[in-house]
Amino acid sequence: MTDATPRFEREPAPGGAVRLLGDWTAGQFARARLVPDLERDLPADRATLWDLREAVVDHVGAQLLWKQWGQRWPENVELLPAQRTILERVAQFTGKRQRRPRLGWGDRFLEFGASLLRGLGHLTGFIQLLGRLTLDLRELIRRPQNGPWRDFSGHLYRIGATALPITALVGGLIGVVLAYLTSQQLRQFGADAYIVDILGVSLVRELGPMLAAILIAGRSGSAITAEIGVMRVTDELDAMRVMGISHTYRLVMPRAMALAIAMPLISGWTTLAGLLGGMVAADLSLGISPIFFLNALPSAVSVQNLVLGMSKSVVFGVLIALIGCHFGLRVEPNTQSLGQGTTASVVTAITVVILVDALFAVLFSQVGM
């Protein structure tokens, strides 16, 4: 142990003075790694005489002592003027953690009202965005030669083509899981052939479109919010406004159109992957051949189910695009707001997709069944 090592000596008599020695500095603590031992061995008796005059103390050492003293000055302490200045600064900026006051009913009511107003603000902004998108589509129909077709094709590729591998993987795995779980129950009743009906209706009508929408909401919805949010942080949106370029015409409309077209295709791709995985699992678990599966599938799944699944996908795509753009346009020019907006966009898009899917299930419960 060198002379610079932080240490202390205590007189053997009861209540004896504690004398600090060495360098109580950040450098010594980092090299010696003695902070846990010092915190354990240092006395916490404020009535003890503390002598700091022979030690070198910086703000880190002062913080350690102040914590050991219970954030209060001991009754007897001998120190140098420079040491007192450091300890007083530490005492000034180190306070005990205050408990958060308990909220009364009035405060809770005000918080609920603020949350309700924020929700209404988001709803109003979303409706306004939908109205501006409608006007922009009318303008596009009038002058299609001036439309943002290059942006549309780029978004269609990034949202649609690049999402095919992950959607096929998830769809295939869901089909395998669903087939294996269903086969365990059907085998008990000798209804093995009905696995085609279960897989066909569930994947074509519900699981395929909803799985694709959830994956796209997490994958592309977050990307849309992040892209527009970064444009807010870098003042590109303000530059577009100065140049007279509409945000909805150049940013929202191409993404909404791309998702409206890509989502039914991705949904169909996911459904096909799920049916393929279910067909393989049905062959392995129940011995149902792929030829029988393919021959029985058209009679098990009506065209109305396919049309309903594709129609839902179009609605899902438009909603995901509008939600991503809505939260992207509301991002404040700082990185923290960008992260919060992206998170809120993904959570809101997935929640809305599930709610709209439930609404479709209730309204069209008699279609194709």
Are 260 and 301 contained in the same domain?
Answer: yes
Q: Is the residue at 78 inside a domain?
A: yes
pLDDT at 16: 67
Are 138 and 246 contained in the same domain?
Answer: yes
pLDDT at 96: 53
CATH number for the domain including 67? 3.30.750
Are 339 and 218 contained in the same domain?
Answer: yes
Residues of the chain by 3-state class (helix, strand, coil), percent to 5: 75, 5, 20
Are 151 and 196 contained in the same domain?
Answer: yes
Average pLDDT of span 68-78: 76
Q: Which of 93, 128, 153 is the last residue of a domain?
A: 93
Q: Is the residue at 287 inside a domain?
A: yes
pLDDT at 281 over 80: yes
pLDDT at 320: 94
The total number of structural domains that make up the chain: 2
Are 179 and 256 contained in the same domain?
Answer: yes
Averaged confidence pLDDT in the chain: 84
Are 86 and 197 contained in the same domain?
Answer: no
Percent of the chain at pLDDT above 90? 26
pLDDT at 359 over 80: yes
Q: Is the residue at 127 inside a domain?
A: yes
Cβ–Cβ under 8 Å, residues 331 and 135:
no
Are 319 and 190 contained in the same domain?
Answer: yes
pLDDT at 97: 52
Specify the higher pLDDT residue, 291 or 4. Answer: 291
Q: Is the residue at 58 inside a domain?
A: yes
Are 181 and 46 contained in the same domain?
Answer: no
The predicted model scores a pTM of 0.69
- pLDDT band, residue 168 (cuts 50/70/90): very high
Residues 6+ apart with CB under 8 A from 307: none
pLDDT at 317: 93
pLDDT at 208 over 80: yes
One-character DSSP codes across 176-239: HHHHHHHHHHHHHHT-GGGHHHHHHHIIIIIIHHHHHHHHHIIIIIHHHHHHHHHHHHTTHHHH
Segment 21-49, tens digit of pLDDT: 777 777 777 665 666 767 666 776 665 77
Segment 224-246, tens digit of pLDDT: 999 999 888 888 888 888 888 88
Percent of the chain at pLDDT above 70? 90
Q: Is the residue at 100 inside a domain?
A: no
Q: Is the residue at 222 inside a domain?
A: yes
Are 168 and 239 contained in the same domain?
Answer: yes
Angle at 249 between CA 248 and CA 250, to 5 degrees: 95
Are 307 and 166 contained in the same domain?
Answer: yes
- Domain region containing 14: 7-93
Are 54 and 191 contained in the same domain?
Answer: no
Specify the higher pLDDT residue, 115 or 5. Answer: 115
Q: Is the residue at 106 inside a domain?
A: no
Q: Which of 93, 109, 141 is the last residue of a domain?
A: 93
pLDDT at 84 over 70: yes
Q: In angstroms, rounded to a whole number, what is the distance separating the alpha carbons of residues 275 and 284? A: 14
pLDDT at 189 over 80: no
- pLDDT band, residue 4 (cuts 50/70/90): confident
Q: Is the residue at 86 inside a domain?
A: yes
Segment 302-335, tens digit of pLDDT: 888 888 889 999 999 999 999 999 999 988 888 7
Residue count (the chain):
369
Q: How many CB atoms lie within 10 A of CB 324?
A: 31
pLDDT at 71 over 80: no
Specify the higher pLDDT residue, 215 or 78. Answer: 215
Are 248 and 354 contained in the same domain?
Answer: yes
